[in-house]
Amino acid sequence: MKTSHIRKHMPRNPHQLLDAIIGNNGLKNDAALCRILQVAPPRISKIRHGKLGVSADIILRLHEHFQIPIADLRDMMERQA
């Protein structure tokens, strides 16, 4: 089985991604992340509450601003056992 096929079906944890980005970049909270990514706070809130997935747009904004490879961003969302 291809790694990309396996990766696509693994459960994701957006909290882990958001917390890692905030913590690793010295941001105070989700509001600070929203300002940097130029997205409305309700969008990040909906991601946190499981009402919205992490879109390709958010992944690209994170990649472009923080220079984190997209594969690493995806790995940040992998659930820990």
How far apart (Å, rounded) are the C-alpha atoms in residues 38 and 75? Answer: 23
How far apart (Å, rounded) are the C-alpha atoms in residues 13 and 54? Answer: 10
What pLDDT, on a 0 to 100 scale, did the predictor assign at position 46? Answer: 94
Look up the pTM and report it: 0.80
Question: What is the per-residue pLDDT across 31-57, written as a single tens digit (0 to 9) for each?
Answer: 999 999 999 999 999 999 889 999 999
Which domains, ranges and CATH numbers included, belong to the chain? 3-76 (1.10.260.40)
DSSP SS3 for 12: strand
How far apart (Å, rounded) are the C-alpha atoms in residues 34 and 47? Answer: 12
